[in-house]
Structure 1
Amino acid sequence: MANLSLSLSLLLFVFCISSMAEPAFVRRPLEQAYIKASCRSTRYPALCIQYLSGFADSTIQNPQELAQAALSVSLYRARYTRSYMLKVATELKAKKAKEYQAIKDCLDQINDSVQQLCQSIRELRRLGGHEEAESSDDVFWHISNVETWTSAALTDATYCVDQFPGRKMSKLKATIKGKVLNVAQATSNALALFHQYASRYKAGATTKKPSG
């Protein structure tokens, strides 16, 4: 009898553990599907899915969380690229290499992108944390700030890419161009996903307008 009770207890324990674990297995495919569906509206969907799929284990369940993750990815790529370019620029300056000035100019642009993406993320957090308590004018002010700073970050990264035209360039310049292009593409995707998030406010404002 004791053995039977022990067996039933173990069986119940296993059942409970399985029941608790099941939502995690169910949630991951659902979040992956949500990320893939959202990324279809971006300019670089494959890159969008690649970068954001790593967040599927977290709690991305709505456009605000997805936009936050996308901006975080863009900031990470920009910081990584800035660190690489800073190291390269320091070495080229010491050698008085002719490539130094072009890379230094590009580095300045990427540094601006980093600062602007930081501002975008802070502003999005303010928007997400106070959207219910604030007036529609305040909400749209936050939205405008995020769009302005993210667009500026994209412009600076794109300008940096344009500093390396053509296909015939050194291996170093080609490497830098590839890294900066990656920042620009990630930022473009982040901006598109933020537009998805902001669209619900714009749609709500339109429906609230009195008919003339």
Structure 2
Amino acid sequence: MVELRRSLSLVSTFLILFCTSTTAQPPAPRRSRTRAYIEVSCQITEYPDLCIRSLTAYIHGANATILSPRKLVHYALLASQHRAQHTRAFLLQVSKPLKAKKDQEYQAVKDCLEQIDMSVDQLSMSIKELRQLGREEATPSPSRDDVVWHISNMETWVGSALTDATTCLDEFPGGVRMSRMKATVKAKVLNVAQVTGNALSLFHHFVVRYRVPGSPKKP
């Protein structure tokens, strides 16, 4: 009888420990509302995986909450600007020794640097213009003409930034054997072009409401 009680006690202890160990495991982390919103919104872009990666970086890095089309555009433009600035810094770094050695690759890098430099400026202007658009819409009676003007400027500048990055890529045509440096430049510039293209897609989605006649609505 004593042995039976001991056996039952051991079984009970085992069951308690087993249940405790299984229920004590933390639940799988749920996606945040911001990440879920980004994942859905990025499906309209040409490179959705890249779009998700570039935007979710701001959730952790800047602790940002992105739950509106306007904020999506804002952070997409910031991502493009940062990639372009990083690429410009890299081009500046590699161009100096090429110039000193009078390397034949210098001209291609120099031309590309000029294009990326313009992309950085255009993306900076588009970010400022988005802020201006927000201020205009915050007024009691926003002027539709002013709203359309800001949108037109943004469309021009983001589109030009994409064109300039694409023009830079033309300096390094496919199918041609290139140095490791050129391959790295091309990869970085391609990344700028893709991120900027995604930003332009999100921007076009954001301004659809303004294409319809009527008073602009606050986002």
Q: TM-score, normalised by structure 2?
A: 0.79
Q: 1:97 aligns with which of 74, 98, 103?
A: 103
Query: Is 164-173 or 175-184 further displaced after alignment?
Result: 164-173
Q: Deviations over 1:16-71 (max 9, x none)?
A: xxxxxxxxx88x62111110111000011110001101223412110001100000
The answer to whether the aligner puts 1:194 opposite 2:203 as a matched pair is: yes
Q: Deviations over 1:133-174 (max 9, x none)?
A: 221111010000000000000000000011101231111111
Q: Which residue of 1 aligns with 2:18?
A: none
**Equivalent-residue separation in structure 1 for 2:93 and 2:146 (angstroms):** 41
Q: Which residue of 2 aligns with 1:41?
A: 44
Q: Which residue of 1 aligns with 2:180?
A: 171
**Equivalent-residue separation in structure 2 for 1:118 and 1:58 (angstroms):** 20
Q: Deviations over 1:97-140 (max 9, x none)?
A: 11001110010000010110011000011101221422111101
**Equivalent-residue separation in structure 2 for 1:130 and 1:61 (angstroms):** 21
State the percentage of identical aligned residues. Answer: 54
The answer to whether the aligner puts 1:63 opposite 2:93 as a matched pair is: no
RMSD: 1.5
The answer to whether the aligner puts 1:78 opposite 2:84 as a matched pair is: yes
**Equivalent-residue separation in structure 2 for 1:110 and 1:181 (angstroms):** 11
**Equivalent-residue separation in structure 2 for 1:40 and 1:162 (angstroms):** 28
Q: TM-score, normalised by structure 1?
A: 0.82
Q: Which residue of 2 aligns with 1:155?
A: 163
SS of 2:173's equivalent in the other structure is coil
Q: Which residue of 1 aligns with 2:191?
A: 182
Greater fraction of residues in helix = 1
Q: Which residue of 1 aligns with 2:145?
A: 137
**Equivalent-residue separation in structure 2 for 1:132 and 1:138 (angstroms):** 12
